[in-house]
């Protein structure tokens, strides 16, 4: 790619691409490419000028070589770069905003008074029509106030005031629409499907292949706890599918042969093979956008309260205007009150504050599926942690493979990895990653795999039943035994590690010792959460009491529970809610799903089981548990901002009414101050709550 350096300082470079014009898609491709270069800290591409600004560290020469290698035809780049970035949306609304301001300035400066009056009257028609429709529906809402104010101003030949009201209302509507669409767009993008590989069925075998290789007509196997990767028709098997992300249904839907399944829905029970009907990137993003726009999840109670209060104040504003005129017979004073509208600021600022907070959260890699969940996080006083993958690191490692009856450790690890790779969880990932590190290549050697939630996995190799999982599952449920020759070894298994038990033909074959180190930031996170208003921190785990006690002591939780089942976690959450507490549940596995659903707010780790991410109300990335503190801080800040908005709107507008009654403010000054304050509080609501 040819480019010219326009300006540079140490660590920052601005360059111009030598091409006639740049499309939005080309700008997105270049920005994605630049942001993913290892030495680049940030990048911004300007498609109108064909310029790009890069902030980097390291060698300048190496960076320039990487930029020179860029190509719009790079197939890998075309497959991986996101297709919905929000660039087109921002460009559209920037143009609308500039056009509206330019037209207002042009009419004010160059139109003669009669033309300006006609233009203002034409501009008023949509607002008047909205007011008439409200009255026809026997509703006294903000539109009636707007229409009345514009009508009275025009009737008094006060074209300037009417024009100012129309302009400010138009700007307000445009900013609200832009912010809302951008917030929904950002949220949908963060919720969009992100699946790297899928199980393709070829004959009788299952092969793990990149999603990008799947085409319409291919067959894909979906196991329990995983996302349906693509739209398709079920051709084999039966499953319960959670379709909440697509349809809003809270109850899983049964899908059998002939049933249609959607990309991004989660398989809760069973296993299915689907025939793909739509390849990657077809319609999921658009469906999510539609779902978010229609979903009541976006409405927090503070938004609903603001809308209700706004509409309730309209009759009072109209009544106050009429009473002032009856008592004073002064049209100017009456109009000064009419121009002041509490509801406009309330209806505009509150949703913008909530959506902006959700958008800000996404900048910290926190996905929030609705405004009411941020409100619940702010009000929460109890937080329940699953241990594995949350308080401990999301990437536990295998430290030893203890075998019995002279079995080969590598062979046992190979068998374990072959079973575990079907059901990704942090412990399963540790087994699979260790097999990769040891270069243990395997072909599918077993029959159909059954996953027993919170217990383990069972299958057959030839005629022998193979099970892997917890001590309870292997020895109590499956009745497996420890070989006599390995009794002493079994008794001396190191206690500081978590254990996965592998049994073949009813006899213990190996124990995989896994180290699950505590997250360094966990104690600090719990301290910070308590400072932000959390009064009770609980840890729940399926591990032994000894392991749980050690972790609980290190991180500083208030209570801990060991050897718990999924229903125990959900039951505890329900009990806390019945006691009047607001509960946050944090987990990453299939077995956390019931508790995530039961909590006031369910938070999933993004690298955990897909079903957990689907059910959860909020998702954070695995990199840093401190994101919980960030989420709590943003949520607390949001509620503080909303309460501050209420106080400001009520007090400021009440002041305007009193000044209007006193004859200090004219109707046009009253309208200008009111609408300016509305825009001001709305723009303030769109700013970040935390400094990056």
The whole-angstrom separation of Cα 193 and Cα 264 is 6
Q: At residue 380, does pLDDT exceed 90?
A: yes
Say what percent of the chain tops pLDDT 90. 20
Does 556 share its domain with 678?
no
Angle value at C-alpha 517, between 512 and 520, nearest 5 degrees: 170
Residue 511, pLDDT score: 94
Residue 295, pLDDT score: 46
> 285: Cβ–Cβ under 8 A, 6 or more apart, which residues?
83, 84, 188, 189, 192
**For the whole model, what pTM was predicted?**
0.65
Instruction: State which of 272, 292, 312 marks the end of a domain.
Output: 292
CATH number at residue 414: 3.40.1110.10
Residue 480, pLDDT score: 92
Answer yes or no: is 202 within a domain.
yes
Instruction: Name the residue with higher pLDDT: 351 or 69.
Output: 69
Answer yes or no: is 39 within a domain.
yes
Does 410 share its domain with 493?
yes
* Cβ atoms of residues 491 and 404 within 8 Å: no
Residue 235 in tokens: 């051709």
> 584: Cβ–Cβ under 8 A, 6 or more apart, which residues?
376, 377, 380, 382, 383, 384, 599, 600, 601, 602, 603
Residue 619, pLDDT score: 83
Answer yes or no: is 510 within a domain.
yes
Does 403 share its domain with 510?
yes
Q: Specify the residue for token string 């892997």.
A: 468
Q: Average the pLDDT over each of 100-109, 156-165, 632-641 and give the range with the smallest value.
A: 156-165
Answer yes or no: is 102 within a domain.
no
Answer yes or no: is 617 within a domain.
yes
Q: At residue 14, does pLDDT exceed 90?
A: yes
Q: At residue 291, does pLDDT exceed 80?
A: no
Does 218 share its domain with 280?
yes
Q: In whole numbers, what is the pLDDT of the chain averaged over residues?
A: 81
End-to-end alpha-carbon separation of the chain, Å? Answer: 33
Does 181 share its domain with 259?
no
CATH number at residue 207: 2.70.150.10
* Cβ atoms of residues 200 and 218 within 8 Å: yes
Does 401 share its domain with 547?
no
CATH number at residue 73: 3.30.1360.10
Q: Average the pLDDT over each of 245-249, 316-320, 414-418, 636-640 and give the range with the smallest value.
A: 245-249
Angle value at C-alpha 658, between 657 and 661, nearest 5 degrees: 85
Does 317 share its domain with 270?
no
Instruction: State which of 292, 307, 324 marks the end of a domain.
Output: 292
Does 266 share its domain with 334?
no
Q: Would you tell me how many other CB atoms lie within 10 Å of the CB of residue 472?
A: 16
- Domain count within the chain: 5
Strands (E), 409-522: 450-452, 456-461, 464-469, 498-504, 507-515
What pLDDT, in 10s, does the model give residues 30-39? 988 998 888 8
Does 47 share its domain with 63?
yes
The whole-angstrom separation of Cα 350 and Cα 646 is 9
Torsion of CA 301, 305, 311, 313, to 10 degrees: -170
Q: Average the pLDDT over each of 194-208, 288-302, 314-328, 670-684 and give the range with the smallest value.
A: 288-302
Most confident of 207-216, 304-313, 505-514: 505-514
Answer yes or no: is 631 within a domain.
no
CATH number at residue 557: 3.40.50.1000
Answer yes or no: is 94 within a domain.
no
* Cβ atoms of residues 146 and 130 within 8 Å: yes
Answer yes or no: is 89 within a domain.
no
What pLDDT, in 10s, does the model give residues 47-57? 889 999 999 99
Mean pLDDT of 230-241: 87
Residue 645, pLDDT score: 86
Does 438 share its domain with 584?
no
The whole-angstrom separation of Cα 346 and Cα 176 is 12
Does 485 share its domain with 510?
yes
By residue range, what is the domain housing residue 657? 107-188+298-354+636-685
Of 658, 677, 636, give the one whose Cα is nearest residue 377. Answer: 636
Mean pLDDT of 563-577: 87
Instruction: Read off φ and ψ for residue 651, nearest 5 degrees.
Output: -70, -45
Q: Average the pLDDT over each of 193-202, 457-466, 592-601 and give the range with the smallest value.
A: 193-202
Exposed, middle or buried: residue 100 (CB in 10 Å: 0-12, 13-18, 19+)? Answer: middle
Instruction: Name the residue with higher pLDDT: 550 or 606.
Output: 550
Does 560 share its domain with 585?
yes
Residue 297, pLDDT score: 46
**Element of type H or E holding 396:** none
Of 611, 271, 235, 210, give the one whose Cα is nearest residue 447. Answer: 271
Instruction: State which of 292, 309, 334 marks the end of a domain.
Output: 292
Count the residues in the chain: 692
- Secondary structure (DSSP) of 320-352: HHHHHHHHH--HHHHHHHHT--HHHHHHHHHHH
């Amino acid at each position: 790619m040819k480019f010219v350096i326009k300006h540079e300082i140490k660590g920052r470079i601005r360059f111009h691409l030598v091409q006639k014009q740049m499309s939005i898609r080309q700008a997105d491709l270049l920005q994605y490419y630049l942001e993913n270069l290892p030495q680049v800290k940030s990048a911004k591409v300007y498609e109108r000028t064909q310029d790009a600004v890069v902030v980097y560290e390291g060698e300048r020469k190496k960076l320039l070589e990487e930029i020179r290698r860029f190509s719009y035809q790079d197939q890998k780049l075309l497959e991986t770069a996101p297709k919905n970035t929000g660039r087109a949306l921002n460009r559209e609304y920037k143009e609308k905003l500039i056009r509206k301001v330019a037209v207002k300035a042009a009419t004010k400066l160059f139109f003669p008074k009669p033309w300006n009056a006609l233009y203002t009257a034409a501009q008023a028609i949509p607002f008047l029509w909205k007011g008439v429709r409200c009255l026809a529906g026997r509703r006294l809402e903000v539109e009636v106030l707007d229409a009345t104010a514009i009508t009275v101003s025009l009737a008094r030949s006060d074209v300037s005031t009417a024009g100012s009201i129309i302009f400010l209302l138009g700007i307000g509507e445009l900013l609200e629409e832009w912010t809302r669409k951008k917030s929904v767009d950002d949220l949908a993008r963060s919720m969009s499907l992100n699946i790297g590989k899928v199980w393709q069925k070829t004959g009788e075998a299952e092969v793990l292949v990149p999603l990008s290789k799947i085409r319409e007509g291919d067959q894909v196997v979906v196991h329990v706890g995983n996302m349906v990767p693509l739209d398709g028709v079920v051709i084999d098997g039966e499953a319960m599918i959670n379709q909440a992300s697509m349809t809003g249904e809270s109850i899983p839907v049964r899908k059998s042969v002939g049933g249609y399944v959607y990309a991004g829905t989660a398989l809760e029970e069973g296993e299915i093979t689907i025939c793909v009907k739509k390849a990657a990137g077809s319609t999921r993003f658009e469906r999510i956008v539609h779902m978010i726009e229609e979903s009541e999840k976006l409405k927090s109670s503070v938004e609903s309260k603001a809308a209700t209060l706004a509409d309730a104040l309209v009759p009072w504003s109209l009544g106050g205007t009429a009473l002032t005129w009856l008592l004073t017979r002064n049209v100017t004073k009456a109009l000064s009150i009419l121009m002041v509208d509490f509801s406009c600021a309330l209806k505009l600022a509150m949703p913008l504050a909530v959506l902006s907070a959700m958008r800000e959260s996404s900048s910290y890699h926190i996905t929030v599926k609705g405004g009411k969940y941020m409100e619940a996080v702010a009000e929460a006083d109890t937080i329940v942690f699953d241990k594995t993958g949350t308080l401990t690191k999301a990437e536990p490692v295998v430290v030893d493979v203890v075998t019995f009856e002279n079995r080969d450790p590598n062979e046992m690890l190979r068998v374990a990895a072959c079973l575990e790779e079907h059901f990704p969880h942090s412990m399963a990932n540790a087994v699979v990653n260790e097999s990769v590190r040891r270069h243990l290549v395997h072909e599918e050697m077993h029959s159909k795999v059954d996953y027993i939630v919170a217990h383990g996995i069972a299958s057959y190799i030839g005629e022998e039943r193979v099970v892997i999982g917890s001590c309870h599952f292997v020895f109590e449920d499956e009745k497996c035994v420890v070989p006599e020759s390995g009794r002493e070894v079994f008794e001396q298994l190191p206690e500081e590690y978590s254990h996965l038990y592998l049994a073949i033909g009813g006899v213990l074959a190996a124990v995989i010792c896994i180290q699950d180190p505590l997250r360094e930031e966990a104690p600090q996170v719990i301290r910070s959460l308590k400072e932000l208003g959390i009064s009770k921190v609980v840890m729940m785990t399926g591990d032994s009491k000894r392991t749980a006690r050690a972790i609980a002591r290190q991180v500083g939780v208030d209570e801990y529970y060991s050897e718990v089942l999924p229903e125990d976690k959900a039951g505890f959450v329900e009990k806390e809610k019945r006691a009047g507490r607001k509960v946050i549940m944090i987990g990453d596995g299939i077995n956390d799903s019931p508790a995530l659903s039961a909590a006031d707010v369910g938070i999933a780790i993004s690298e955990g089981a897909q079903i957990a991410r689907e059910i959860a109300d909020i998702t954070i990335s695995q990199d840093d548990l401190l994101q919980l503190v960030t989420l709590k801080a943003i949520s607390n800040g949001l509620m503080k901002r909303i309460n501050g908005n209420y106080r400001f709107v009520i007090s400021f507008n009440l002041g305007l009414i009193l000044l209007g009654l006193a004859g200090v403010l004219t109707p046009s000054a009253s309208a200008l101050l009111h609408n300016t304050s509305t825009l001001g509080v709305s723009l303030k609501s769109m700013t970040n709550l935390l400094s990056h």
